[in-house]
């Protein structure tokens, strides 16, 4: 992540809250044959020191984890193109506004016995967001089908050593210019794809 001081002033708690609410990102690490990537749901611990996730057992990342390995989860938020015309002042250039947080640390495979409780925690996190729907639980699964599903995935833990965030939202522009661009983004750009995130 490019840590431009103009856009990386968000408190660490806000970055962690965004990552926790989004709970989905791109896991990246160096494997024996080069860079490995996987799109993963995860559950960030309350103290933001670790993130639980699972991988398909055949995923090259799972096979590469013979020992703890440096890794990062990149979480993307809303983004949108900003036209220079939207600023209402001369001599501006096109840009994009975006939100992104990186969780950096050491990724370790966990014992298979930790998988089922982890899946219960993860599904509870996502099901809670669907209230008032009655939550789905693994108890609704037929035991032999559940056992078969569990054999196909492995649990992993990212022990987090750093959280970096960038909130590039025009902070380097005068207030009137920011508000002008924000109004146009809400109408024509970011507003079409934005989703809630902690403020």
Length of the chain: 199
42 in a structural domain:
yes
184 in a structural domain:
yes
Are residues 76 and 27 in contact, defined by beta-carbon separation less than 8 angstroms? no
Higher-pLDDT residue of 9 and 67 is 67
CATH number for the domain that contains residue 17: 2.30.110.10
173 in a structural domain:
yes
38 in a structural domain:
yes
183 in a structural domain:
yes
147 in a structural domain:
no
The per-residue pLDDT for range 143-191, each reduced to its tens digit, is 999 999 999 999 999 999 999 999 888 888 888 888 888 888 888 655 4
> From CA 3, how far away is CA 9, in angstroms rounded?
9
Task: Indicate the DSSP class of residue 109.
Answer: E
19 in a structural domain:
yes
91 in a structural domain:
yes
> From CA 133, how far away is CA 126, in angstroms rounded?
11
Averaged pLDDT for residues 120-139: 94
- Residue 36's Cβ-side half-sphere holds a number of Cα atoms within 13 Å equal to 18
Q: Which residue range forms the structural domain that includes residue 94?
A: 12-112+153-191
Quote the number of domains for the chain: 1
Higher-pLDDT residue of 123 and 3 is 123
């Amino acid at each position: 992540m490019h840590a431009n001081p103009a856009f990386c002033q968000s408190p660490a708690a806000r970055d962690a809250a965004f990552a926790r609410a989004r709970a989905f990102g791109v896991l990246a690490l160096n494997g024996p044959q080069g860079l490995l990537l996987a799109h993963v749901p995860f559950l960030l611990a309350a103290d933001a020191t670790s993130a639980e996730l699972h991988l398909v057992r055949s995923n090259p990342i799972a096979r590469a984890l013979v020992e703890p390995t440096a890794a990062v989860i990149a979480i993307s938020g809303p983004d949108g193109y900003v036209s220079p015309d939207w600023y209402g002042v001369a001599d501006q250039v096109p840009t994009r506004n975006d939100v992104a947080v990186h969780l950096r640390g050491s990724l370790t495979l966990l014992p298979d016995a930790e998988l089922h409780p982890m899946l219960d925690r993860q599904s509870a996190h996502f099901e809670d967001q669907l209230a008032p729907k009655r939550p789905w639980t693994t108890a609704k699964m037929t035991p032999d089908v559940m056992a078969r599903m569990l054999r196909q995935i492995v649990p992993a833990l990212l022990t987090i050593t750093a959280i970096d965030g960038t909130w590039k939202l025009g902070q380097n522009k005068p207030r009137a210019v920011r508000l002008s661009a924000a109004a146009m983004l809400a109408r024509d750009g970011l507003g079409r794809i934005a989703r809630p995130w902690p403020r």
